[in-house]
Amino acid sequence: MVNTAMRIDAYKDKIKTALLNKQEKISVEYYNASNLFQSVLRENPTIAAKIKNVQYDELLVGGVFSVTYTVDPDNDSEVLHADTGEQVEDAMHKAIRHYKLEVSVSVAKSVNVSEVYNNFLVTYQGYYSNLISIECEQQFNIFGGKNLVKFSFNYRIGRIKLSMMEREVNKKLAEINNILFCYDMPNEVKAFVAHNYLAKTVVYWLDEDAGPLEKSYMQSAYGALINKKCVCQGYAEAYKRILDSQGITCEVICGKIKGSPDYHAWNVVSFDDKEFYHVDVTWDAQGKGKNRYKYYGLTDERMREDRIWTRLSYMVCAGSENILEKAQVQLVQSGGLFTSRGVNKKYFN
């Protein structure tokens, strides 16, 4: 039994090594070669992502695999996993927000990828002004109930310009972190202070006559953090980038205001990946007095009063705590300590 297991592992290692070396013909002299090959792909989806097609010619003992690789076999991008349509959609959103040229997703066979893809084009392509087109290609059947699908993205702004923008944003994030946070500041306070920073320093700006490039800026973290003017998506992207830099879970939500045909973006945050809360910096930035925090730390129930959005199943905003009040109390108690460590108290309220 041990010898059999060792032989199986040795054959699997041989297949894996051959695939890593981009061999086009792989001979396996083992009676169950096809199952071994499938097993290697299931266990190594990143390798499977580099394969376009496989043909198997069975011999008396084992067989020969003829492998065709993707045109970009050196792309070592991570393979994401999705068991539902909403997870596929979420992977596409994240790829676009990070300006990925392509992303491969291991998708459960029960998911109608074509339907998800077509719905995404209809619903969201116009929402991302920097996005020109999306292509969807099923790369490979990973077996075991999974398909490997590649999404390719074509952007209005080139990669060189995007890289330059990203460097500017990262530099700005470092500056922001120095004035907003200190090492022992609770995450609830960090999320609140970041909300106030954007509300006070960024202007809502929507110019329907702006060109495609300027509209791309308006809908990005670059527009909010560098140009200091943006629309809702810019606020949401910037808020996520700031909280990401502090290790705080923050996602961008794309939805609509009830009664309006236009899309709207805001955030969902969590401090323990169990409890989630809605935060809409855009609307709070336009508010006065108590309305400055009207959309901070809200539940799904409250947001459903005037919002429609695609809910991720794991992201339920039940609101067991009042995170607004908690942050404000902590600032009253420890604000002096934070300012003594370099935090700018201008963003405490």
Residue 142, classed as helix, strand or coil, is strand
What is the per-residue pLDDT across 319-349, written as a single tens digit (0 to 9) for each?
788 999 999 999 999 999 999 999 999 999 9
Query: CA 266 to CA 246: how far, in whole Å?
Result: 19
Q: How far is CA 122 from CA 95, 125, 163, 191, 256, in A?
A: 17, 7, 28, 33, 15
Query: CA 254 to CA 183: how far, in whole Å?
Result: 32
Helix and strand element counts for the chain (H, E) = 13, 14
What is the per-residue pLDDT across 160-172, written as a single tens digit (0 to 9) for each?
787 888 899 999 9
State the number of CA atoms in the 13 A half-sphere of 162 facing the CB. 16
Judged by average pLDDT, the poorest of 61-70, 111-120, 121-130 is 121-130
What is the per-residue pLDDT across 216-228, written as a single tens digit (0 to 9) for each?
788 889 999 999 9
Q: How far is CA 336 from CA 189, 190, 347, in A?
A: 13, 15, 13
Q: At what angle do helices 323-340 and 187-201 cross, to 10 degrees?
A: 90
Query: CA 346 to CA 20: how far, in whole Å?
Result: 54
Predicted confidence band of residue 1 (pLDDT cuts 50, 70, 90) = very low
Neighbours of 14 (CB within 10 A): 17
